[in-house]
Chain A
Amino acid sequence: MTKLKLVAELAGHEDRVWQVSWDPSGTRLASCSGDKSARIWAPISGEQFFTADHSEKPMAAAAIGGGASMDVDQTSASTWQCLDTIDNAHKRTVRSIAFEPTRGRALATASFDGTTAIWEKEGAYECVATLEGHENEAKSVAWSPSGQLLATCGRDKSVWIWESNGEGDFDCISVLMEHTQDVKMVLWHPVQDLLVSFSYDDSIRVWKEDDDDWYSVATLTGHSSTVWGGAFSPDGRFLASVSDDRTVRVWTQKSQASLAEDNKGFYYRPDSEFQCVAVVPDSVHSRAIYSVSWTAASAAASAAAGDYGFLATGCGDNTLRILRVFAPAAAGAAGSQSPALDIELVCERQNAHGLSDINCVKWNPVYPSWLATCGDDGIVRIWHLE
């Protein structure tokens, strides 16, 4: 029996919290908010927090008040602390935040003020670079796995790719203008040099580099409204996307063999095509889905064959859901041409952020059964999947 246990509530932001991001060690969490600030949080006991047994802790009474208030561990109020607050990080809402993925030293924030800022900690966090270029609201920022590239996107329909010049600053190397409406989120593939963007134009685009030139290699259509975001499976084989149409879709790259078959007789051969292999129908989520995150099946043993781990979704219907992704028993054969997936809802937590939308969900990259969420209630919550 799978269940989600609320282990900590982090209160401090004074407006809705839009996004959270784990650092590469999995021991710090950054959050950003409509209050124009960013905060960095950590468990006081450090990494031990994620390995300690939390199952025997006494549960507090239902209401503590002040917004932060569920059946959270009685001790949790003192198990996490806010390490840093970057007040007035931007002139307007801080919409997106991301730790640099190799060492976690730098932090990037993207804001409705149109800029993306790079922060490094020298005692306190200081702004070491400001990336300007978007005409208006910047909506998402993401580092490539190597930390060498940064992608941003915004209401001006563009995706920008920036390259680190090694001295903390970044140069713009590409501006991608093929979306026809705001771009809501950018996401890098965990292994390949692929960038994915999700848009208000209902499409997802995949971008690839060819000799310093980035171009669109695939457009994924199927969602019938704004695509708010997505997440790759930890091995990079699959991409999940979530939308205002209340569905979750899972896509995969076609194998070279099936691509060759598709392109037989055609002069032009795209080298990367995606197909949709699973849809969670709109009966499961009852309002827009804002965020999805994908974790490996279990912290310890490697996943059993055909077991692709868990999705978490954050939804406008106030419910936090955990979905298991697996290969249907019949279609598990190696070399199968159609890698269809099954997805089942394994647990849900209503009112995970009170009566507020859940804006972002993120599994811990190192301790895969730990989940951070944030919402319009201004609180960040830490959950454990048991």
Chain B
Amino acid sequence: MNITQKINDAPLVYDVVSTTRGVQDTDFDDGVCDPIDSDEVYELIRNINDPEHPLTLEQLHVANKDHVYVDDNSNHVLIEFTPTIPHCSMATLIGLCIRVRLLRSLPERFKVDIKVREGTHQSETQVNKQLNDKERVAAALENTYLLDVVNQCLATAV
């Protein structure tokens, strides 16, 4: 992908709010089981880099903490992301980056659904279908060029 002409030249950039969770009494108690929650999952994806700007998904409001839904009991994660413009051709790639990040970070027991937020992309159905087709995802991740691009976007997400 030679990004000479950017899809969205001048995206709105938002301030980042620190969401560091304060230390709690139970943090040092090994007997307390911490379920995985939306804060923790958001933490995994907020610093993913946008494919065309040196900005994070959080700074662009592509990822939003309120749109991360986690049910630890039923092993389910749903992420809704918001492309900066409704015809963003990077939407599938952004979704793939989020999926790969969670694939590498979450316990295997989680089933992850990734969708563009309703009404924010003109090809919403197609993007969602592709992002949640395990076979298409598996094939994409065997494409070394695409995997390089994904890894670059994930390099900042630590």
Is there a chain B Cβ closer than 8 Å to A34's Cβ? yes
Q: Say which residue of B108, B132, B135, B142 sits within 8 Å of A139 (CB atoms).
A: B135
Taking residues whose C-beta sits less than 8 angstroms from the other chain, chain A's interface range is 20 to 34
The answer for the CA separation of A244 and B129 in the assembled complex, in Å, is 10
> Once bound together, how far apart are the Cα atoms of A112 and B138, in whole Å?
9
**Of B75, B129, B139, which one neighbours A226 at CB under 8 angstroms?**
B129
Q: Nearest Cβ in chain B — how far from A109, in angstroms?
A: 16
**Docked pose: A357 CA to B109 CA in angstroms:** 10
Tell me if A225 and B139 are in contact (CB < 8 A).
Answer: no
Chain B neighbourhood of A34, CB < 8 A: 138
CB of A200 within 8 A of CB of B129, answer yes
Q: Does B134 contact A (CB under 8 A)?
A: yes
With A200-B129, A200-B133, A226-B129 already in contact, the answer to whether A355 and B109 are too (CB < 8 A) is yes
**Chain B residue contacts of A93, Cβ below 8 A:** 138-139, 142
What class of interface size applies to chain B in its complex with A?
Answer: 10 to 19
Q: Is A137 an interface residue (CB 8 A)?
A: yes
Given the interface pairs A355-B75, A355-B109, the reply to whether A137 lies near B139 with Cβ below 8 Å is yes
Cβ of B111 within 8 Å of any chain A Cβ, yes or no, is: yes
Contacts A93-B139, A112-B139 given; indicate if A226 touches B133 (C-beta within 8 A).
Answer: yes
Q: With A112-B139, A139-B135, A357-B134 in contact, is A316–B129 under 8 Å at CB?
A: no
Tell me whether B142 and A287 are in contact (CB under 8 A): no
Hey, what's the 0/1 contact readout for B135-151 against A, CB within 8 Å counting as 1?
11011001000000000
Measured in the bound complex, the distance between the Cα atoms of B109 and A356 in whole Å is 7
Nearest CB to that of B133 among chain A residues? Answer: A226
B interface residues (Cβ-Cβ under 8 A, vs A) = 75, 108-109, 111, 129, 132-136, 138-139, 142
The 19 sampled A-B contact pairs (Cβ below 8 Å) are A16-B138, A92-B139, A92-B142, A93-B138, A93-B142, A112-B139, A139-B135, A155-B139, A182-B136, A184-B135, A200-B129, A225-B129, A226-B129, A244-B129, A244-B133, A287-B111, A316-B111, A355-B109, A357-B134
Q: A244 contacts which chain B residues (CB < 8 A)?
A: 129, 132-133
* Min CB–CB distance B105 → chain A (angstroms): 16
- The secondary structure that dominates the A interface is loop
A residues 353-367 touching B (CB-CB < 8 Å) = 355-357
Given contacts A93-B138, A244-B133, A355-B108, 9 further A-B contacts (CB under 8 A): A112-B139, A136-B139, A137-B139, A155-B139, A225-B129, A226-B133, A244-B129, A355-B109, A356-B108
A111 to B20, CA, bound (A): 45
Closest CB of chain B to A327's CB: distance in Å? 35
Residues of chain B with a CB closer than 8 A to A137's CB: 139
Q: Which residues of A contact B129 (CB under 8 A)?
A: 200, 225-226, 244
In the bound complex, residues from chain B placing their C-beta under 8 Å from that of A95 are 135
Bound together, the chains give a CA A267 to CA B138 distance in angstroms of 47
Distance of A13 Cα from B115 Cα, bound (Å): 31
Chain A residues positioned under 8 Å from B136 (CB to CB) = 155, 182
Which chain B residue shows the least CB distance to A155?
B139
Most chain-A Cβ atoms within 10 A of its Cβ — which of B75, B108, B138?
Answer: B138
| Min C-beta distance of B18 to chain A, whole Å | 34
Report the minimum CB–CB distance from A201 to chain B (whole Å). 10
Q: Please, which residue of chain A has its CB at the minimum distance from the CB of B134?
A: A357
In the complex, what residues of A have CB within 8 A of residue B134's CB? 316, 357
List A contacts of B142 (CB < 8 A): 92-93, 112
The 4 closest A-B pairs by CB, nearest first: A355-B109, A92-B142, A137-B139, A112-B139
Q: Report A-chain residues with C-beta under 8 Å of the C-beta of B135.
A: 95, 139, 184
CA gap between A21 and B134 in the complex, in Å: 21
- CB neighbours (8 Å) of B75 from chain A are 355
A314 to chain B, nearest CB (A): 13
Q: How far is the CA of A304 from the CA of B138 in the complex (A)?
A: 44
For residue A377, which residue of chain B has the nearest CB? B108
Cα–Cα, bound, A112→B139 (Å): 7
B139 neighbours in A (Cβ, 8 Å): 92-93, 112, 136-137, 155
A16 to B136, CA, bound (A): 14
Residue of B nearest to A316 (CB): B111
Q: Which residue of B lies closest to A92 (CB)?
A: B142
Interface positions, chain A 282-336, Cβ under 8 Å from B, are 287, 316-317
* Interfacial chain B residues near A200, Cβ < 8 Å: 129, 133
A64 to chain B, nearest CB (A): 18
Cα A244 to Cα B109 in complex, Å, equals: 20
Q: Shortest beta-carbon distance, B136 to chain A, in Å?
A: 8
Closest Cβ of chain B to A357, distance in Å, is: 7
Q: Distance (Å) between the CB of B32 and the closest chain A CB?
A: 23
With the chains together, A182 CA to B140 CA distance in Å? Answer: 14
Nearest CB in chain A to that of B74: its residue: A286
Residues of A within 8 A of B133 (CB): 200, 226, 244
Task: Give min CB distance, A267 to chain B, whole Å.
Answer: 37
Q: How does the 8 Å CB contact mask read for A46-86 relative to B, with 1 for contact and 0 for none?
A: 00000000000000000000000000000000000000000
Docked Cα-Cα span, A287 to B76, in Å, equals 11
